[in-house]
Amino acid sequence: MQSDLAIVILNYNTCHLLNTYLPSVVKHSNGYRIIFVDNASKDESVNFVRENYPQIEVICLEENYGFTGGYNRALKQIKAKYYCLLNTDVEVTENWIEPIINLMEGDEKIAVCQPKLLSYTEKNKFEYAGAAGGFIDYLGYPFCAGRIFDTIEEDKGQYNEIQEIFWASGAALFIKADLYHKFGGLDERFFAHMEEIDLCWRLKNAGYKVFYTPQSKIYHLGGGTLNKTSARKTFLNFRNNLLLLYKNLPESELKSVLRKRRFLDFVAAIVFLLQAKPKEAIAVRKAYKAFGEMKKYYQSSGESVASYPNCVYYKSIVVEAKLKGKKRFEDLEVSNFEKQA
């Protein structure tokens, strides 16, 4: 079993994090391969790993290819049955691997799985980037069990059941290696942000499943690459969200969804202005411009996809959370996750 999993950590200038987070990975990885992939960092990351953790394999890339390109190039060099894509700012816990591998071994249709993600700084709370598994609404807005927009829940055991989800967090993403390569890996045009949602959506459109396993638990710092409120991150999130809709939505839904999204995203830009965040408002406009320029590289899923896959919320999460006050995942009606007749 131990040769079947490769834990792959992609790094770019995070030497300051490694002494805090790597020890837990080494301690609790039970002899599985750990591979440190460096995206042409300018700090001492590579030297630190080589000097302090000789048991960790190191792959050095010649330039910064981003989250997407870095993983794609590294994983072409790594033979394994399963990959775990792990951020540098993650503290893992005892027995974090086996529950996930056992679940995936038991169902050939499970392509991707994630553990429970808790906050490193507030360990009784879920973590923003993945919490207890990711979902989207029918307009493509992502949210999580345990986190809707900026409302982050305390972990009280309310999400302690294994469940199917829509997308798994890239902070600690387990995936079957053959499927990663068969489906082309991460979309490099995304560079970073929402690329894992796109990959999960492509897999689900092909009939595979994505799961959350609470018996596996990790702690994630988050924001290690880009600040959650940076204009660059706002740009990437809006642009990439539009791209994943264009790539993956059923043809019958695409025009209607994009029309509604344009209105809601315009409102978001106005809110940024009212909050005295002009750079974020400009980032939204730039995202739409970039989306228009990048559509030529893609074909929409067209007739090949008849409907949404499982685990879509068929109401607007913006309306539910912002106008109706449904701030917790538990507040959402289960029936709204069922496909409409």
Counting the structural domains of the chain, the total is: 2
The residue type of 341 is: A
Could you tell me which residues come within 8 angstroms of residue 274 by beta carbon, excluding any fewer than 6 positions away?
none
Q: Are both 170 and 257 inside the same structural domain?
A: no
Q: Are both 170 and 306 inside the same structural domain?
A: no
- In the listed set 220, 255, 274, which residue is the last one of a domain according to the structure? 220
Please report whether residue 226 resides in a domain.
Answer: no
Please report whether residue 57 resides in a domain.
Answer: yes
Please report whether residue 290 resides in a domain.
Answer: yes
Contact 225, 102 (CB under 8 A): no
Contact 321, 144 (CB under 8 A): no
pTM of the model as a whole: 0.94
Burial 46-84, CB ≥16 within 10 A → b, else e? bebbeeebeebbbbebeebbbbbbbbbbbbeebebebbb
Using alpha carbons only, give the angle 286, 275, 272 rounded to the nearest 5 degrees. Answer: 20
Q: Are both 198 and 252 inside the same structural domain?
A: no
Q: Are both 67 and 195 inside the same structural domain?
A: yes
Q: How far apart are CA 141 and CA 292, in angstroms?
A: 19
Q: Are both 114 and 190 inside the same structural domain?
A: yes
Please report whether residue 27 resides in a domain.
Answer: yes
CATH of the domain at 51: 3.90.550.10
**Host domain of residue 292:** 231-310
- In the listed set 220, 239, 260, which residue is the last one of a domain according to the structure? 220
Tens digit of each residue's pLDDT, the chain (341 residues): 455 999 999 999 999 999 999 999 999 998 999 999 999 999 999 999 999 999 999 999 999 999 999 999 999 999 999 999 999 999 999 999 999 999 999 999 999 999 999 999 999 999 999 999 999 999 999 999 999 999 999 999 999 999 999 999 999 999 999 999 999 999 999 998 899 999 999 999 999 999 999 999 999 998 655 555 689 999 999 999 999 999 999 888 999 999 999 999 999 999 999 999 999 999 999 999 999 999 999 976 655 677 899 999 999 999 999 999 999 999 999 999 987 65
